[in-house]
Amino acid sequence: MALVTGASSGIGTAVAERLAAEGGWHLLLSGRDRQRLDRVARRTRGTALPADLATPDGSARLATRALAVAGRVDLLVAGAGVGWAGPFRTMPPSAITRVLEVDLLSVLHLTRLVLPPMVDRGQGHLVLVGSIAGQLAVREEAVYSAAKAALTAFADSLRYELAGTGVRVSLVVPGVVDTPFFERRGAPYLRSRPRPVPADRVADAVWSAVRRGRSEVYVPGWLRLPHRLRGVAPSLYRLLAARFG
């Protein structure tokens, strides 16, 4: 049983379709847009579980429904995400709450609910979809970057905690992805580089993490380079980031 959040569009849809193509998975698909989610569920022969993860009880309701329908969750792909772009000093408090609820808190709460049965069975896999913004920080995306950075730390900490239990934790780190994300965050992506990659590339990375048990996958792979530069030469990295954005 695989539970995929954010499955009504973008990365979540691509992941659902990739898992369906691989076969062997009963898909539990969550998203806010019921019509789009139903279409994805029909294409992938999955079960639609509409949920609004921006609400305080959204994760609990989704986990309860998923376990009631399927009895167990063997794979969680936490792909739901929202953004907001602009100076932090002008960011509405409601937008701060929404980004943190969807991108961070919902993942923590949902993981907390599906993890204990995985540990009891001695098997399971958590795939968390992070962002390069959480590794490097992005100008005028302070809260989104903070949420994704926290998700990175959560994945690392949980991986250490679950060593030897049979439950694996993977973090997929996409860069710019060609999805409706940018339209919904309130600002289009206007830079010429890095060029957006299709959502299918991220779905391939998720499948690679599942099939090979990889702890961390960057999409595209060259994004590891600026991350490593920031680690070994932080002053140089910050100088370059301030100049080139």
Helix axes 142-161, 93-100, angle to 10 degrees: 20
Residue 58 is part of a domain; what is its CATH number? 3.40.50.720
| Cα-based distances in Å from 148 to 161, 183, 217 | 20, 19, 15
| Residue 218 annotated among the catalytic residues of the structure | no
Q: Which residues contact 90 (CB under 8 A, 6 or more apart)?
A: none
pLDDT recorded at residue 189: 63
The stretch 59-88 carries a mean pLDDT of 93
Q: Which of 144, 160, 189, 237 is catalytic?
A: 144
Mean pLDDT value across residues 81-97: 94
- Per the prediction, the chain carries an average pLDDT of 89
The confidence score (pLDDT) of residue 237 equals 47
Q: Range of 99's domain?
A: 2-244
Residue of higher predicted confidence among 115 and 220:
115
How large a percentage of the chain has pLDDT more than 70?
84
List for the chain the helix, strand, coil content (%; round to 5).
Answer: 55, 15, 30
Residues 174, 205: contact at Cβ < 8 Å? Answer: yes
Structure tokens at 137: 């920080």
Lowest pLDDT segment from 14-18, 98-102, 195-199? 195-199
Confidence of residue 192 (pLDDT cuts 50, 70, 90): low
Over range 29-52, report the average pLDDT: 95
Domain count, the chain: 1
Q: What is the mean pLDDT of residues 3-31?
A: 95
